[in-house]
Amino acid sequence: MTTEARLLHGTADDRLGEIADRLEGFLAADPDLSFQAAAFHDGAPVLDVWGGPHLAEDSVMVPFSVTKNTIGLSVGLLVERGELDLDALVVDCWPEFGAHGKDRVTVRQLLSHQAGLPQATPALTVAELLDDHAAAERLAATTPFWYPGTAFGYHGITIGNLASELVFRVTGRTLHEFYEQEIRAPHGIDFYLGLPADQDARKARTLPMIKPVADTSTMYASLLAPLAFGMPGPQVDLANDEVSWRFGHPAVSGTGTARGLARLFAAAVTGVDGAAPFLSAETVLTIGQQQVRGYDEVLGQPHRSHSIVFQKPTPTLAFGGPRAFGHDGAMGALACVDPDTGIAFAWTIARGPWPGGADPRALTLASDLGTILSR
In the predicted model, what is the mean pLDDT of the chain? 96
Q: Residue 170: what pLDDT?
A: 98
Give mean pLDDT, residues 87-97. Answer: 98
Per the domain annotation, does 84 fall within a domain? yes
Per the domain annotation, does 242 fall within a domain? no
Angle in degrees, CA 217, 222, 228, rounded to 5: 110
Q: Which residues lie closer than 8 Å to 276 by C-beta, 6 or more apart?
A: none
What is the number of structural domains in the chain?
Answer: 1
Per the domain annotation, does 223 fall within a domain? no
- Could you tell me how many helices (H) and strands (E) the chain has, helices first? 13, 10
Q: Residue 219: what pLDDT?
A: 63
pLDDT digits (tens, 9 = 90+) for 197-222: 999 999 999 999 999 988 777 666 78
pLDDT digits (tens, 9 = 90+) for 275-326: 999 999 999 999 999 999 999 999 999 999 999 999 999 999 999 999 999 9
Pairing between β-strand 343-349 and β-strand 301-306 as defined by DSSP bridges? unpaired
Per the domain annotation, does 299 fall within a domain? yes
Question: Quick one: pLDDT band at residue 42, thresholds 50, 70, 90?
Answer: very high
For CA atoms 202, 205, 206, 211, the dihedral sign is: negative
Selection from 278, 75, 70, 109 nearest residue 191 by Cα: 70
Selection from 197, 138, 163, 134 nearest residue 308 by Cα: 163
Selection from 92, 87, 90, 78 nearest residue 116 by Cα: 90
Give mean pLDDT, residues 169-190. Answer: 98
Main-chain phi, psi angles of 9, to 5 degrees = -115, 155
- In eight-state DSSP terms, residue 201 is G
Q: Which residues lie closer than 8 Å to 310 by C-beta, 6 or more apart?
A: 68, 69, 72, 287, 288, 325, 326, 327
Q: Which residues lie closer than 8 Å to 176 by C-beta, 6 or more apart?
A: 132, 164, 193, 194, 248, 250
- Which CATH number covers residue 158? 3.40.710.10
Question: Quick one: pLDDT band at residue 57, thresholds 50, 70, 90?
Answer: very high
Per the domain annotation, does 248 fall within a domain? no
Question: Quick one: pLDDT band at residue 3, thresholds 50, 70, 90?
Answer: low
pLDDT digits (tens, 9 = 90+) for 107-125: 999 999 999 999 999 999 9
Q: Which residues lie closer than 8 Å to 214 by C-beta, 6 or more apart?
A: none
Q: What SS3 state is found at 32? A: coil
pLDDT digits (tens, 9 = 90+) for 332-366: 999 999 999 999 999 999 999 999 999 999 999 99
**Terminal-residue alpha carbon distance, the chain:** 19
The gap from C-alpha 199 to its chain's centroid, in whole angstroms, comes to 21
pLDDT at 183 exceeding the cut of 70 = yes
Q: Residue 218: what pLDDT?
A: 67
Q: Residue 149: what pLDDT?
A: 95
Q: Give dist(CA 343, CA 272) in Å, integer.
A: 12
Per the domain annotation, does 318 fall within a domain? yes
Per the domain annotation, does 277 fall within a domain? yes
* Helices 68-80 and 281-288, packing angle to 10 deg: 130
Domain that holds residue 90: 9-208+253-373
Q: Give dist(CA 308, CA 329) in Å, integer.
A: 17
To which H or E segment does residue 181 belong?
none
pLDDT at 1 exceeding the cut of 70 = no
pLDDT digits (tens, 9 = 90+) for 124-160: 999 999 999 999 999 999 999 999 999 999 999 999 9
Q: Which residues lie closer than 8 Å to 341 by C-beta, 6 or more apart?
A: 41, 320, 321, 369, 370, 371, 373, 374
Per the domain annotation, does 232 fall within a domain? no
